[in-house]
C-alpha cells in the first residue's frame, strides 16, 4: 500500500456523503414532496382561517428552495417572524417563517379594521403583541403540517415562542449545517400578499409519507374566538408605562445655568397632575404621591373606555 502523505490524502465530498446517507435528495424528489405538502396547505388552511377569523385568506403553493438550512433562513430577510418546532418521530428541528406584513394586517383586521381598507405595511420587526398574533398563525400552520405527515406516533408537536429574524442566534460553527428544503406558500388577506415558509431538513423530508389529512380542524373553536384569544394575549402582554409631570416654567437663561443639586418645583402647588402614557398614547390622568419608600401615582381619570385603551395600545 502507498503510505499516506499530505499530497495523497483527499477530503470526502460532503455533498456526495450527504446523498449516500440520505441527507440530500435530488430536485425532482424534493420538489414532489414539497408540492404535496404545499397542496395540503392550499386545501385546508383557507377553511381553517376563515372558520376561526371570519376572513377570506387566500392560500397558494408557490414553489420550493433548497440549500443549507442556515442559508435558507437567512435568505428570508429580516422582515419575517420565525418559529422553531419539532414533531416526534418525524423531525426534531424544523422552522416555520411568516412575512411580517400579513401578521400586521391580520392583527388590524382582528381589531376591527376592514381587510380591504388596510394599506399594505412594509416588512419590519414585530412588536411583542404582534408576535402573540403570529403564535396563532404558526399554530394553525403546524396543525395542518402535522396532520399531513404520516409519521407513526408523531403526535407530540412542540412549537417555540415566535421571534423576529433579527433575534435569531448565530449558527454554532462547531455544528455542521444540514441540507434542507424551504416550502413556500403565499398567504393573502385583503390587498396584502405575503409568504409563509416551512424549512425542514431533507433527511426527514425524504422519508415523509404525505397523507391527506382527515378531520383537520374538527372541533374547531367558534368563529370569532381568535378575536377573543387576541384580546386575552393583549391583556397578558407587559406594557411599559411612562408618567409625565409638568415642572415650573423657567427661562432659557436659568435652565442653562442649572447645576447638580438645584431644585425645580412642580408646576402644581397641591395635587401634582401627572399624565400616564404607553406607546405614545395618553391613558390616565393621575396625581403624584408616595407609598412607603416608593413614589406613586393615583389614577383620577382615564382617556376613554377599557376598549378604547386596548385599541390605543394596539394602534
CA distance 108 to 118: 8
Say yes or no: 136 and 51 in one domain.
yes
C-alpha cell belonging to residue 209: 409519507
Establish if 290 belongs to a structural domain.
yes
Residue 1 within any structural domain of the chain: no
* Residues 19 and 87 occupy one common structural domain: yes
> pTM, whole model, 2 decimals?
0.69
Q: How far apart are CA 12 and CA 307, in angstroms?
A: 64
284/304 same-domain check: yes
Instruction: Decide if 7 is inside a domain.
Output: no
CA-to-CA distance for 109 and 50, rounded, in angstroms?
13
Return the pLDDT at 274.
87
- In angstroms, rounded to a whole number, what is the distance separating the alpha carbons of residues 15 and 159? 30
Predicted local distance difference test score (pLDDT) of residue 17 = 63
| Of 156, 148, 139, the residue nearest 86 (C-alpha) | 156
Q: Do both 50 and 161 map to the same domain? A: yes
What does the pLDDT read at residue 100?
96
Burial 227-252 (b: 16+ CB within 10 A, else e): bebbeebbeeeeeeeeeeeeeeeeee
Angle (CA) 103-108-109 rounded to 5° is 95
Q: Is there a domain that residue 114 lies in?
A: yes
Residues 156 and 108 grouped into a single domain: yes
- Choose among 254, 96, 243, 231: nearest CA to 165: 96
State whether 25 and 81 are in the same domain. yes
* Among 307, 43, 79, 41, residue whose Cα is nearest residue 192: 79
Q: Let me know whether 146 and 195 are in one domain.
A: yes
H or E stretch including 139? Answer: helix 128-148
Exposure b/e, 191-222, CB count within 10 A at least 16 = b: ebebbbbbbbbbbbbbebebeebeebbeeeee
Cα separation of 85 and 300, whole Å?
47
115: helix, coil or strand?
A: helix
Q: Specify whether the backbone of 2 is left (phi greater than 0), alpha (psi in -120 to 50) or beta.
A: beta
Residues 294 and 231 in one domain: no
Cell, residue 64: 420550493
Give CA torsion, residues 139, 145, 150, 156, to 10 deg: -20
- Does residue 77 fall inside a structural domain? yes
Distance of CA 88 to the CA centre of its chain: 23
Q: Output b/e per residue, 99-127; b: 16+ Cβ within 10 A.
A: bbbbbbbbbbbbbeeebeebeebeeebbe
- Assigned domain for 186 exists: yes
Assess if residue 4 is contained within a domain: no
Domain boundary among 236, 269, 287: 236
User: Are 268 and 228 members of one domain?
Assistant: no
Q: Which of 201, 236, 271 is the last residue of a domain?
A: 236
Q: How far apart are CA 196 and CA 43, in angstroms?
A: 15
Number of other CB atoms surrounding residue 133 within 10 Å = 26
Q: What is the CATH number of the domain that holds 26?
A: 3.40.1550.10
pLDDT tens, residue order, the chain (315 aa):
555 555 555 566 676 666 666 668 788 999 999 999 999 999 999 999 888 888 889 999 999 999 999 999 999 999 999 999 999 989 999 999 999 999 999 888 888 788 888 888 999 999 988 998 899 899 999 999 999 987 666 568 999 999 999 999 988 888 888 999 999 999 999 889 999 999 999 999 999 999 877 655 444 444 455 566 666 665 666 677 888 888 888 888 888 888 998 888 888 877 888 888 886 678 888 888 888 778 888 888 888 777 667 666 655
Q: Do the Cβ atoms of 216 and 147 come closer than 8 Å?
A: yes
What is the total count of domains within the chain? 2
Location of C-alpha cell 374538527: 218
What CATH code is carried by the domain that includes residue 268?
2.30.330.10
Assigned domain for 9 exists: no
Same domain, 178 and 297: no
Q: Do 181 and 260 belong to one domain?
A: no
Domain final position from 182, 203, 236? 236
Same domain, 295 and 196: no
Cβ atoms of 62 and 175 within 8 Å: the answer is no
Structural domain span for residue 118: 14-211+219-236
Amino acid at each position: 500500500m502507498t503510505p499516506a502523505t499530505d499530497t495523497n490524502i483527499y477530503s470526502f465530498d460532503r455533498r456526495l456523503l450527504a446523498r449516500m446517507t440520505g441527507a440530500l435528495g435530488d430536485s425532482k424528489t424534493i420538489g414532489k414532496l414539497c408540492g404535496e405538502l404545499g397542496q395540503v396547505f392550499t386545501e385546508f388552511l383557507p377553511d381553517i382561517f376563515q372558520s376561526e377569523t371570519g376572513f377570506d385568506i387566500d392560500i397558494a403553493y408557490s414553489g420550493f428552495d433548497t440549500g443549507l438550512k442556515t442559508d435558507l433562513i437567512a435568505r428570508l430577510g429580516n422582515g419575517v417572524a420565525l418559529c422553531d418546532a419539532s414533531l416526534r418521530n418525524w423531525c426534531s428541528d424544523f422552522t416555520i417563517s411568516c412575512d411580517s406584513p400579513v401578521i400586521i394586517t391580520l392583527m388590524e383586521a382582528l381589531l376591527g379594521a376592514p381587510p380591504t381598507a388596510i394599506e399594505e405595511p412594509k416588512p419590519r420587526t414585530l412588536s411583542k403583541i404582534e408576535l402573540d398574533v403570529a403564535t396563532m398563525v404558526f399554530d394553525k400552520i403546524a396543525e395542518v403540517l402535522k396532520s399531513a405527515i404520516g409519521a407513526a406516533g408523531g403526535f407530540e408537536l412542540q412549537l417555540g415562542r415566535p421571534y423576529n429574524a433579527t433575534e435569531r442566534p448565530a449558527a454554532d460553527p462547531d455544528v455542521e449545517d444540514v441540507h434542507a428544503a424551504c416550502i413556500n406558500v403565499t398567504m393573502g388577506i385583503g390587498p396584502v400578499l405575503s409568504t409563509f415558509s416551512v424549512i425542514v431538513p431533507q433527511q426527514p423530508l425524504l422519508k415523509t409519507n404525505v397523507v391527506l389529512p382527515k378531520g383537520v380542524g374538527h372541533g374547531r373553536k367558534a368563529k370569532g374566538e381568535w378575536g377573543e384569544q387576541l384580546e386575552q394575549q393583549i391583556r397578558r402582554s407587559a406594557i411599559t408605562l411612562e408618567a409625565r409631570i409638568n415642572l415650573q416654567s423657567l427661562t432659557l437663561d436659568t435652565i442653562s445655568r442649572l447645576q447638580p443639586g438645584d431644585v425645580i418645583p412642580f408646576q402644581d402647588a397641591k395635587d401634582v397632575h401627572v399624565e400616564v402614557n404607553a406607546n405614545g398614547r395618553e391613558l390616565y390622568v393621575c396625581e403624584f404621591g408616595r407609598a412607603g419608600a416608593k413614589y406613586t401615582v393615583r389614577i383620577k381619570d382615564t382617556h376613554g373606555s377599557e376598549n378604547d385603551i386596548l385599541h390605543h395600545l394596539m394602534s
